[in-house]
Amino acid sequence: MYGPLHGDPHGPFSRRMRGLLAAAGLCAALAAVAAPKVLRIASESETGFDPARVGDARSFRVTSHIFETLLHYDPLARPVKLRPLTAAAMPEPSADFRTWTVRLQPGIFFTDDAAFGGKPRELVAADYAYSIRRLADPATKSPGWSAIEQAGISGLAALRREAIDRRKPFDYDRALPGLQVLDRHTLRFQLDAGRPRFAQWLADAATAAVAREVIEAEGDRSMQHPVGTGPFRLAEWQRASRIVLERNLHYRERHYDAEPAPDDAEGQAILARLKGRRLPMVDRVEIAIIEERQPTWLAFLNGETDWIELPDTFTAVALPGGRLAPNLARRGIRAERAVLPSTYYTMFNMQDPLVGGYAPPQVALRRAIGLAIDVEREITLLRNGSAVPAQSPVTLNMSGYDAAWRSEMSAYDPARARALLDLYGYVDRDGDGWRETPDGQPLLLKMGTQPSQETRRFDELMKRDMKAIGLRIEFHSAVWPEQYKAARAGKLMMWSVSGRAGAPDGIQGLLRYDGAAAGGVNLARFDLPQMNAAIARLLALPDGPEREAAFDLAKRLTVAWMPYKLRTHLVQIALWQPQLVGYRRPLFWNQWFDVVDLE
């Protein structure tokens, strides 16, 4: 017989203990349910969060979750497919593709902000008209203007030119034939010429909607005070250190859906698992800004991040022989390898007196430098095989791409480079081992670079390649955002950087050669009438054989004039922890935080 103090299972003490244990279990269960889902990633440095003013993929990765475009891309469809985001349906084009009408979903609201005076602020058609006008405003200095200019929105470029020529503020209130707000939720675009692929511009991250009240209230602070309609809001930003996004608690009712191909087993499995879940599925995104490669890799190995873009230097460790390392596979870590629509290139400032210009000696110098760069060695030693040689600006998965197309871009021929330099008068006149200019002046190449271990390795290889053909080169170091700003201002002679296409049309790769885009995506400030005409023709032609032939001509011009030495198309490997569900690499966009879950 047991008394109540000796473990009687029916005594009052035991009943009380069972109650306490049950309550503790319930509290633990509730705590588990209530615990926020925190997605943790590592990234390189950002520049800010105003969609009209940023131009780098790292910043767009953040803005694309705070602000929303009219259209976006299906997260699983391959080939890629446009879908409505804030639009109620796909845009309606006229027969000649010059008029496009878009209707917005009613009942979409911006996150709360003091600029709204304590009242809910609905997203309306006028917000998109204003946001697109901002890209044209010279005061915005938008990298996105050069791309939207190519859309040919009637009257927009003329309004910009007037502001520049008359040195007066951009007129946001003047009626434009190209941007017509038909009613609260309907916007009509009128274009100067037919643009069969105009819908792709409406998914460009730079065209995302901002609220005029916020921009006017914040002024230059717009880069650090983003207010959008997207699934997340900026909760914290410590520049070059940490970014935190939190779920937008007032985000509209939106659920996961996608259209993977019928034979896409992985995509179908993701769809079956996530279909119908309300977006976003995670509550918080913490982005650690880590510039160096080894800390990025170690943070992932230690489980401190859920996702990383694998640093090239660790490809052989993570994927020996091209397969996921057994120790990583046992942990449930997954990997995806993809050739991105991204090109790593060296730009030449076409306005620089040494490497710029269109005369034969200057063209010969640029082509000689290009021939002296050992791309295969760069891929093998510095990228550990995570790249392919670039033949043209048009990359895999884009219209105009031809896998069989070959050019001088991928050639490594120092003997030919030396012959070109000799032919055009770049010779060593004083016998010191270094070449001078044709008029006998010292020849010194100056190249922008960044203060990281990785870029130092690229600089060392570049110095070796230039020395092999008798050219001196020196490197000027600054952090990436500063170099980008200097390049856009035309203050760098040379700089190596990567650019990524934002849409599947091959014209995206050619926009950096358009004279009108100088100071924007055209960092080289290349301006050749024949190329400008070729780009204009490509914009207007419908898809088909005639357009493919026009792509061939444009690609040949990029090789002949060499304002950019295209080096590689990057192969990016993403790794993610087993708890991250639904990830598939975006090809032409930056948005994915809202379509993944943590389980």
pLDDT tens, residue order, the chain (599 aa): 333 333 443 444 444 445 544 555 554 454 445 689 999 999 887 889 999 999 888 899 999 999 999 999 999 999 999 999 999 999 999 999 999 999 999 999 999 999 999 999 999 999 999 999 999 999 999 988 878 888 999 999 999 999 999 999 999 999 999 999 999 999 999 999 999 999 999 999 999 999 999 999 999 899 999 999 999 999 999 998 999 999 999 999 999 999 999 999 999 999 999 999 999 999 999 999 988 889 999 999 999 999 999 988 899 899 998 899 999 999 999 999 988 888 999 999 999 999 999 999 999 999 999 999 999 999 999 888 889 999 999 998 899 999 999 999 999 999 999 999 999 999 999 999 999 999 999 999 999 999 988 899 999 999 999 999 999 999 999 998 899 999 999 999 999 998 888 889 999 899 899 998 898 889 999 999 999 999 999 999 999 999 999 999 999 999 999 999 999 998 889 999 999 999 999 988 889 999 999 99
At 561 the pLDDT is 98
- Contact status, residue 305 vs residue 580, Cβ threshold 8 Å: no
* Residues 523-550 pLDDT 10s: 999 999 999 999 999 999 999 999 999 9
Q: Which domains does the chain have, with CATH numbers?
A: 67-222 (3.90.76.10), 340-572 (3.10.105.10)
Q: How far apart (Å, rounded) are the C-alpha atoms in residues 269 and 274?
A: 9
- Contact status, residue 313 vs residue 384, Cβ threshold 8 Å: yes
At 500 the pLDDT is 82
Contacts from 354-359 at CB under 8 Å and sequence distance 24+? 354/437, 354/443, 354/445, 354/493, 355/445, 355/493, 355/494, 356/525, 358/528, 358/561
- Contact status, residue 355 vs residue 348, Cβ threshold 8 Å: yes
Q: How far apart (Å, rounded) are the C-alpha atoms in residues 340 and 587?
A: 6
At 33 the pLDDT is 56
> Please, how many CA atoms are within 13 Å of residue 2, restricted to the half-sphere of its CB?
11
